[in-house]
């Protein structure tokens, strides 16, 4: 999902939810296929139909041009070498929360996305002022405390730097645990 959002740009909530459900179905079907190319091709075709209905024509064209990357993480990354945008920063931040906290419902995910959008905007504007940065973090945390469970907030607090900016160790992460792919 993060690859799609990073590559296709800002998605609205309807697009994001449709693509997330489609991506979850594709991943489930791909795992169940046990390497059967015909089953995987069918799952990819099903996702293509969903993507065509959910995306704008320009976004769908971009998806088609880089389909192997978006679906299978194979081939060149179409965003490699491009400057990081606020959309990319938000998508990456939300992905850290989804992976670390696990089990977020749509309301929590949307709330975190909105909080992340405000955080990234305000943090970028406050770069040279530590007091403004502290206020930005405090505002984010007030909203986050309301959006997630106390146990999830405790997990966030145990590794705040990771969730906010991807820095520091990934210890204390909840959710799936273990090593991430590609390591």
pLDDT tens, 33-92? 888 889 888 999 999 999 999 988 888 888 888 888 888 878 777 666 555 667 777 878
Closest to 118 in 3D by CA, of 86, 88, 146, 71: 86
pLDDT confidence of residue 165:
83
pLDDT for the residue 34: 86
* Residue whose entry in the numeric block shows the structure tokens 């991506």: 23
Token duo for residue 126: 């406050």
Q: CA-to-CA distance for 34 and 153, rounded, in angstroms?
A: 37
pLDDT value at position 144? 95
Q: What is the pLDDT of residue 148?
A: 94
The three-class DSSP label of residue 166 is coil
What is the rounded distance in angstroms from the CA atom of residue 105 to the CA atom of residue 37?
32
Predicted TM-score (pTM) of the model is 0.54
- State residue 88's pLDDT score: 73
Residue 126, pLDDT > 90, answer no
Nearest CA to 120 among 148, 93, 147?
Answer: 93
């Amino acid at each position: 999902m993060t690859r799609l959002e990073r590559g296709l740009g800002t998605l609205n909530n309807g697009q994001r939810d449709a693509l997330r459900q489609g991506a979850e179905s594709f991943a489930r079907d791909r795992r169940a296929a046990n390497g059967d190319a015909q089953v995987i091709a069918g799952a990819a075709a099903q996702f293509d139909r969903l993507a065509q209905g959910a995306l704008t024509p320009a976004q769908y064209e971009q998806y088609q041009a880089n389909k192997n990357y978006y679906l299978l993480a194979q081939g060149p990354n179409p965003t490699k070498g491009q400057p990081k945008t606020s959309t990319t920063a938000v998508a990456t931040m939300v992905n850290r929360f989804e992976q670390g906290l696990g089990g977020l419902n749509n309301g929590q995910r949307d709330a975190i996305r909105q909080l992340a959008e405000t955080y990234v905007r305000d943090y970028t504007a406050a770069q040279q002022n530590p007091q403004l940065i502290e206020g930005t973090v405090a505002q984010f945390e007030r909203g986050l405390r309301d959006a997630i469970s106390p146990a999830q907030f405790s997990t966030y607090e145990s590794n705040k730097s990771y969730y906010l900016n991807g820095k520091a160790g990934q210890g204390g992460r909840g959710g799936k645990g273990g090593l991430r792919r590609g390591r």
